[in-house]
């Protein structure tokens, strides 16, 4: 296993505009590391620089303890899985899998043994004599994955490998790729624009926007404590609700729209010196008011859209000038036009500085259900 280290790495195609700016990150040996962000943020460019398919304009790239800026891809001891599979149509599945080994002049007997082992791992043993055109999309993706694994390289790069698959198959392949990575213990760097893939697969994730790092961390830490509004709205489905709020020092209350009033604890009033702030709250942290709820804590909202998903209900409403969403567990009989009383707990709120966009208050009531491992025994 080897680590990958990027030190002040930047990339520019015209020597004027940088598409990647001052990237500093260390990807640990055996880690499943995910690069995630919207289209055009620079994640695939970064992966191609690690692979040696793109030149590095500035900075240092290390694989292990060796600086590899000027090493060709063939000397970096990595494997790569592309978005479009990149299979040779005239070769069989077996020939596609061992093609790289053939180029490296690995003995025939070893090639066959490695191929059979990898094919068994990925459920391809019955398809080795078929051509790619005879396979489904998921099977072709497995062949591309097998070709990368069979090389036994300590680092595997993946560039949106599941984007051409349907939703059900993507969910299955997510689990399969993660299990294979754990079994082999390789360092995997995975590029995706899908935040669900990032949340479910990565040991750590790096969120990119406009070629700059927005946040690096464990998926659940980023979900609970987003560094800025971009991260807050990019991670999570539905995304975090973000809105402008004004602070009334006379009543120690935060005003959200015409009706929303949230009392601020005295110890946090210092956070609101500027008088205005961006407030964020996850849709699942908006609660239904009950008959026991203090009337002053109720916020009445008019429903403008409803989605009942079987195990949960999502509805949208206007609060101030923004459209917000709530996500409640179960099947709720809610219709468009209904006026519903909700509660926003102060402990569930994030605060972002309205000028710097940096987080200044993290939520303290995020319903983390902790348990003792003894309970499961």
Over residues 295-332, the pLDDT tens digits come to: 888 889 999 999 999 899 999 999 878 899 999 999 99
Dist CA 339 CA 138 (whole Å): 46
Dist CA 259 CA 268 (whole Å): 22
Domain count, the chain: 2
Q: Are residues 242 and 348 in the same domain?
A: yes
Mean pLDDT taken over the chain:
88
DSSP secondary structure letter of residue 39: T
Q: Is 323 within the bounds of a domain?
A: yes
pLDDT value of position 275:
59
Q: Are residues 221 and 297 in the same domain?
A: no
Computed on alpha carbons and rounded to an integer, the radius of gyration of the chain in Å comes to 25
Q: Are residues 262 and 189 in the same domain?
A: no
Dist CA 225 CA 217 (whole Å): 10
- Residue 59, sorted as left (phi over 0), alpha (psi -120 to 50) or beta, turns out to be left
Residue 326 structure tokens: 């709530």
Q: Are residues 123 and 155 in the same domain?
A: yes
pLDDT value of position 366:
63
DSSP secondary structure letter of residue 146: H
Tell me how far apart the 2 most distant CA atoms of the chain are, in Å: 82
pLDDT value of position 369:
47
CATH number of the domain encompassing residue 162: 3.40.50.300
Q: Are residues 161 and 209 in the same domain?
A: yes
DSSP secondary structure letter of residue 84: T
Residue 206 structure tokens: 């790096």
pLDDT value of position 274:
61
Q: Is 375 within the bounds of a domain?
A: no
DSSP secondary structure letter of residue 50: H
Q: Are residues 124 and 224 in the same domain?
A: yes
**Residues 6 or more apart whose Cβ sits within 8 Å of residue 112:** 98
32, 202 Cβ separation under 8 angstroms: yes
Q: Domain residues for 341?
A: 230-361
Q: E strands, 161-229, where?
A: 187-192, 204-209, 212-217
Q: Are residues 212 and 295 in the same domain?
A: no
* Beta pairing, strands 276-281 & 4-12: unpaired
Q: What share of the chain is helix, strand, coil (3-state, %, to 5)?
A: 30, 30, 40
CATH number of the domain encompassing residue 266: 2.40.50.140
190-226 tens-digit pLDDT: 999 999 999 999 999 999 999 999 999 999 999 999 9
């Amino acid at each position: 296993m080897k680590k990958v280290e990027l030190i002040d790495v930047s990339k520019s195609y015209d020597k004027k505009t940088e598409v990647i700016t001052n990237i500093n990150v260390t990807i640990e040996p055996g880690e499943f590391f995910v690069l995630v962000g919207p289209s055009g943020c620079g994640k695939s460019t970064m992966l191609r620089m690690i692979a040696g398919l793109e030149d590095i304009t500035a900075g240092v790239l290390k694989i292990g303890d060796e600086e590899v800026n000027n090493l060709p891809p063939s000397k970096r001891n990595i494997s790569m899985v592309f978005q479009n599979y990149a299979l040779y149509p005239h070769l069989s599945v077996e020939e596609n899998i061992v093609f790289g080994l053939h180029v490296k002049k690995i003995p025939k007997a070893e090639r066959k043994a490695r191929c059979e082992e990898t094919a068994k791992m990925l459920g391809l043993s019955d398809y080795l004599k078929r051509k790619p055109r005879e396979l489904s999309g998921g099977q072709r993706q497995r062949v591309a994955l097998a070709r990368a694994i069979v090389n036994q390289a300590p680092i595997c790069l993946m560039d949106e490998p599941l984007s051409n698959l349907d939703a059900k198959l993507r969910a299955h392949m997510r689990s399969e790729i993660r299990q294979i990575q754990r079994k082999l213990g390789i360092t995997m760097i995975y590029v995706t624009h899908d935040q669900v893939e990032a949340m479910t697969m990565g040991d750590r994730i790096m969120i990119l926007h406009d070629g700059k790092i927005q946040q690096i961390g464990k998926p659940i830490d980023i979900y609970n404590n987003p560094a800025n509004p971009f991260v807050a709205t990019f991670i999570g489905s539905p995304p975090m609700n973000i809105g402008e709020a004004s602070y009334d020092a006379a009543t120690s209350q935060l005003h959200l729209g015409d009706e929303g009033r949230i009392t601020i604890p005295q110890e946090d009033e210092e956070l609101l010196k500027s008088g205005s702030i961006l407030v964020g709250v996850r849709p699942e942290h908006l609660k239904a008011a009950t008959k026991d709820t203090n009337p002053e804590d109720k916020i009445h909202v008019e429903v403008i859209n409803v989605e009942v998903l079987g195990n949960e209900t999502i509805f949208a409403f206007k609060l101030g000038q923004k459209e917000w969403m709530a996500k409640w567990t179960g099947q709720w009989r809610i219709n468009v036009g209904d006026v519903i009383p909700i509660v926003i707990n102060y402990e569930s709120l994030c605060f972002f500085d309205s000028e710097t966009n940096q987080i200044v208050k993290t939520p303290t009531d995020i319903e983390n259900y902790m348990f003792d491992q003894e309970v499961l025994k």
